[in-house]
Each structure stands twice: as structure tokens, then as C-alpha cells.
Chains A and B, each alone.
Chain A
Amino acid sequence: MDIDLIFKIAGLAIVISIVNMVLKQANKEEQAQMLTLVGVIIVLMVIIQLVSDLFASVKAIFGF
């Protein structure tokens, strides 16, 4: 399916953790939390789409 999706999300996670480190250095703690939240929400939106595809295909295959 979309293997590059995995690497996209992994890259996003690594970038977010790096930017968080930078924000922590500049003692902007709350911005770091906000950024983590935004990252999680973006990945969640992608994953919700994937999970709904999974449920649709399982429903089709197993005859629910």
C-alpha cells in the first residue's frame, strides 16, 4: 500500500522532536507542548482515514 506513509510520519515525528528540543532550549515550554499536540493531531487525521479503510475492507472480506 503506501509504504512512504510510514516514512512520512516517521520524518514528521523526528522533526517535531527536534523542534521541541530547540523550543525547550529557548525555554518556551508551552509552545513545545502545542507543537506536540499539533503533530499528534495531524498523524491522527491520517490514521483515522487508514483505520476506516481497514474497517471497510474487513467488512467486505469477512462478510459482516
Chain B
Amino acid sequence: MEIFKIVALGVVSSIIILVVKKERPELALLLSLVVGLVLFAFVLDRIVTVFQVFRNLARGAQVNLIFIDTIFKVMGIAYLAEFGSQICRDAGEGVVASKIELGAKVLIMVLALPIFLSLLESLLGLLP
């Protein structure tokens, strides 16, 4: 099963990173970045199939596709920002990590505005 590969790879590479961190901390950080990328590549195709199912469901339910696309964009931004800020925090740069998260929050807010406005319009429409 996939999970065995993921767990085994994670544990083995974190031990290797520990060995490397003593002598060369910068290479250890680069190594942990590579491990993060490889582990993400494992789950990549699973994510694609899940998203296809969501898109078909949305199309079937005549939900406006903009909402679904915006949700996927927000998830993408959140994932990338979390990945970047975690790497910066590993490198000991808490300030940079929080700035990345701040940027991600602002971008997500901007993306969510149209949905928020359409929600308000539909609510106002309900009122007598």
C-alpha cells in the first residue's frame, strides 16, 4: 500500500537528515526540502482523481463551476504557503514563515470575495 512507502521513506530520510545536520546544516535543510517534494509527488495522482470526482459532482448538481474552481485555488494557495512557511520555519526563520502565511491569507481573502458577494446577493434575494 502507498502508506508504507510514504512512512518508510519519511523515517529513513529524516534519520539521514539528522546525520547530515550535524556537519552541514544547510545541506540538511535542502535534503528535507527534497524529501518533502518526493513525498508530495507520491500523493499527486490521488489528488487529481479526487478533484475530478468533485468537478463531475459539481457539474451534475449544476453548481456554478466558479465556486468549485475558487475552492481548488484556495486549497492550492493554502498548501503551497504551508509548504513554504514550514521550510522557512525549519531553517529557523520564523519571521519569513509568518510573512509567507500573511501573504497567503491576503490572497485567499481576495479569492473568496466574489463568493462572499454572491452569497450576500442570494441572501438579500431571500429577504421579503
Contacts and interface: CB of A to CB of B under 8 A. Distances in A.
Interface of A: 1-3, 5-7, 9-10, 12-14, 16-17, 20-21, 36, 39-40, 43-44, 46-47, 50-51, 53-55, 57-59, 61-64
Given A13-B24, A16-B27, A57-B44, A47 B33 contact: yes
Given A10-B19, A14-B20, 19 more contacts: A1-B41, A6-B38, A9-B34, A10-B13, A12-B27, A13-B24, A17-B20, A17-B23, A20-B23, A20-B24, A36-B24, A39-B27, A40-B27, A54-B40, A54-B41, A57-B41, A61-B72, A64-B73, A64-B76
Interface of B: 9, 13, 16-17, 19-20, 23-24, 26-28, 30-31, 33-35, 37-38, 40-42, 44, 47-48, 51, 69, 72-73, 75-77, 79-80
Which of A2, A13, A43 is the most central at the interface, judged by chain B CB atoms within 10 Å of its CB?
A13
Given A5-B38, A64-B76, A44 B47 contact: no
B115 to A, nearest CB: 15
Contacts of A17: 20, 23-24
A64 B79 CA distance: 13
B37 A51 contact: yes
Contacts, number: 94
Question: Which secondary structure dominates where chain A touches chain B?
Answer: helix
A6 B35 contact: yes
Contacts of B27: 9, 12-13, 16, 39-40, 43
